Structure 1
Amino acid sequence: MVRVTGCPARYDAELGYWVVEDPAEVRAVLLDPATFRPDNAVLAHTPLSVKALRVLSGVGFALPPTLANNGGESHRAIRAAVARFFSPARVAAAEPLTRRLLTERVAATSARLAHPEAAEAVDLVQVVAAEPPALVLLHLLGLSDVPLTSLKAWSLDSLELFWGWPDADRQLELSHSAAEFYSWLRTRTVAARETAGDDLFSVLVGLGLSDEEVCAVGYFLLIAGQETTTQLISTAFHRVLQGEPASVEDVLAEASSVPTWRRTVAEAAPVGEAELPAGAQVLLGLSGHGGPADLAFGVGIHRCLGAGLARLETRVALECAADLLGAVRLVEEPPMINLLSFRAPKRLLVSRA
């Protein structure tokens, strides 16, 4: 997580961003999308190499403005179409599935650790937190034939490619993964044009979006809609194991899996006593700076569509895993996913206490 204290806005030369972390100023920026535009929300933080760009262009990879990066007129219609999949009623109806998926994995993990010959540590990220958010998301979106293992790998690779600091060799590796994901999205988009349904891709095609726009929505949503929740659950588990406050609200306020987000300044504008120039890149602190838990999901027209779902899944995960977490101990300080806008334990190796 990026933590820069002091003025409401200050320039961080190493990062290349104006960092805004005062919760009131962050809220004000997010509520002024005309001045503080989302154009840079999904751009690669580390400029992509020529070789990486060639790999992506080979599959027609493009992320035109759709949701998180859309400050134009089309945003409202796209958001409304996607929001229907995450209505309060649909999210509430997904709780039994969420609870079943987590209960099954917790029970299997508890049995594994309780076996008299159990010697190896288990990774709570992989055995409990990884799959349920993805399975619930796919259920809500009406998608039944997504390669789950591939989706999880694609998601982590794309987060690193666009929000990390990969060198040229690592970028090339990650770009092949992103290209594979994008090719799958194109295949699903073509299929939706041929056979209409009520799943995400069919709804987006019915909205009149281009193939590139449909793929862009799918690319962002299938990553953000599940991997960030896996990371939020993992962070909550870590806090419990460390003996720290770990309610959903505590985690969101103090250590959200999405601690920062980006904006770009359309025209010179003040933030506190600082005057940010036109074209300035802004990094907003969403979590860990004394603001309310809800700020972790943003505010305004780009507020996270899955906020209610993420809260529900993390709450259920903590409830289902309470006894398990009380019976195990960490065997190492976990390595972290530590990207510009994403932070969580990579793994949580535990053994019987």
Structure 2
Amino acid sequence: MTSAAIDVSARIRDMRAAQNRTRRLFLVCLAAGLCVASLAGLVIGAVPIPLSDVFGALSPFHDAQGQYGEIVQSIRMPRLALGLCVGAVLGLSGAALQGLFRNPLADPGIIGVSSGAALGVAFVIVLGNAVMPGALAIAGPFALPVAAFGGGMAALLGVYALSRRAGALSGSSLILAGIAINAIAGAALGYLSFASTDEQLRQVTFWTLGSLGRTNWASLIPAAIAMIAASVLLLRLAPVLNVYLLGEREAEHLGVNAGRLKNQVIMLSTLGAGAAVAVSGIIGFVGLAAPHIVRLFAGADHRVVLPGSALLGALLLVSADLIARTAVAPAELPVGILTSALGGPFFLWLLGRYRRELL
């Protein structure tokens, strides 16, 4: 081997080492930012709590009925845990769907998963006791997550079938099919809202606006189990998604079972997004924005994009929820309104940036 070839090889190794250091630093910064935002979420609120008292309330030796124990343990901790789980699974689902469809605009909300999941939840709230009371009694606390998963899966399969009718799966057909499914789900949600009682209407409105404010440990734990399981399994698909970036045919030549990969990503993304909708309602654009921001700083390697999207998704949602509950205190904005207001312009920017690829 010539000296020139050795120099080139050494430079490549140095570049890769520098890239790896940059990526690790980026993930560490995201984790640190998430820790800061989480502590701020426990400290800041209608009742400000000193940081020392927050740590005291989290201690296993602390009296839960003390001055701040009930607020921290029963109100702010479940809310924070919900924000972490929902933000992480939405970011992961968005990154995995974008990698699978090779479409920069793929997102659980844009391609209809969130709307379908919300429709499933609304169906159970409004018609569940009349149509399937026995099933609801058996499902218990899992009724809403199961309904959300079923609705989200039906919506995603509908989008996938519609976008493939013209032949090869394209970015424009995927987005158009998602718009159609969102419109159908929106019409069905409107009818269920019209047919509901006042109490049912309040519950349906809560799901459509998106909020972290009505959670508790009993409702959070079943959905959190589903979200954590989906997130862990999606993270394990990172190396395979890297190979799939070469193209479906090329990936199959390298030993990737493309059909199984599609089924895994679709099922896990729908499970995670459906469980998120079941406890928080529709929270848009987190799954769209987080993966793009991570790729901007850390490249396209899914071994970095997936965990980075989970961390950034959690950071974005926890921060947005902190703003939503303090901006108009003592009132509280639904966090879904805030994420949509911030995510809409970001979506338009993505449309402009990737317009050629989507045509």
Structure-1-length-normalised TM-score: 0.28
Larger Rg: 2
More helix by share: 2
More strand by share: 1
Structure-2-length-normalised TM-score: 0.28
